Amino acid sequence: MVQLHVKRGEESQFLFCTTTGAALDAIIQQVTDIYNGRLKVDRICSEMEELAQHGVTLPPNMQGLTDEQIEELKLRDEWGEKCIPCGGAEFKKDEIGRRNGHAPNEKMKQVLKKTIEEAKSLISKKQVQANVCLTLDMVTEALDQLRGAVTIVYPMGLPPHDPIRMEFENQEDLSGTQASLQVIAEEEAQLWWAAKELQRGKKLQEYVGRNEKTKIVVKIQKRGQGAPGREPVISPEEQKQMMLHYHRRQEELKKLEEADDDTHLNSDWSDRQALKRQFQGLTNIKWGPR
């Protein structure tokens, strides 16, 4: 199996296994689906953390308003009255006024938190260091775990305007958000390797050969962004070790230079002409008045 180390910019994302004979159209589609799926899991986990702390989302026309404004406008959160967490709610006001404050009890909160940790670990970037290739089934499993936890805590379901439910139903609206800049549509996705775009309509073996034990680093990005930066010849860790070796070598040379003492050359025992002068009676000669 050919192993693709997928990166976005300089940041590792995941490992993907394929074959040299696979069509690049299929590879790009699968890699893009996994990439976007991981982003979806992260977004849902982030919202579920808020759900565990402050309950379900208020209707859009009530978000950000104070209690006095809601009362003055005679607004009512009908879905909030229906969506009561299993085991009862504990009031924890949302200071930014986005959620209704009716949070799950501690037991149900732990169900959500534990599931969030499991889902994150399943699609974590640490899987790269563990040499685990990510698949779309693993992303789907993480989503199913999150959906199951929400169903346990809210058996009646979430309001239709809650971002978690919208994510599960693939109706999320990311326009105007930072998340929208991260998502890459499949038709706009490109994979680059060795400063070359892996073009659709071809097979992977046309670029990397037929060796099924090949490992390459590919970068995913949107069409029109140009070629991404090339991978450094040496890794940051290797550069760190080289600098450390250079520093140690400099210290060793400095100590050797300090130890290079030639004062012994002025000693009698090192004078090659000392014996000759002794025979000629030229030793212990002092110049000066008598």
Average pLDDT over residues 31-40: 96
SS3 270: helix
Are 47 and 127 found together in one domain? yes
* pLDDT: which is higher, 157 or 269: 157
Q: Are 25 and 145 in contact (CB under 8 A)?
A: no
Q: 222, 247, 274 — which closes off a domain?
A: 222
pLDDT tens-digit map of 188-242: 999 999 889 999 999 999 999 999 999 999 999 998 877 776 666 666 777 888 8
Average pLDDT over residues 134-154: 96
Residue 270 covered by a domain:
no
Mean pLDDT of the chain: 88
Are 148 and 81 found together in one domain? yes
Are 61 and 151 found together in one domain? yes
Neighbours of 222 (CB within 10 A): 12
CA distance 158 to 154: 7
Are 211 and 237 found together in one domain? no
State the chain's maximal CA–CA distance in angstroms: 125
Query: Quick one: pLDDT at residue 3?
Result: 95
Residue 289 covered by a domain:
no
What's the Cα-to-Cα distance from 66 to each of 54, 71, 123, 193, 228, rounded to whole Å?
Answer: 16, 9, 38, 53, 47
Closest CA to 6 of 40, 42, 30: 30
Q: Are 45 and 120 in contact (CB under 8 A)?
A: yes
Are 101 and 173 found together in one domain? yes
Name the residue range of residue 156's domain.
Answer: 2-222
Residue 193 β-bridge partners: 196
Q: What are phi and psi of 102, to 5 degrees?
A: -90, 85
> Does pTM surpass 0.75?
yes
DSSP of 23-43, one letter per residue? Answer: BHHHHHHHHHHHHHHHHHHHH
Are 207 and 98 found together in one domain? yes
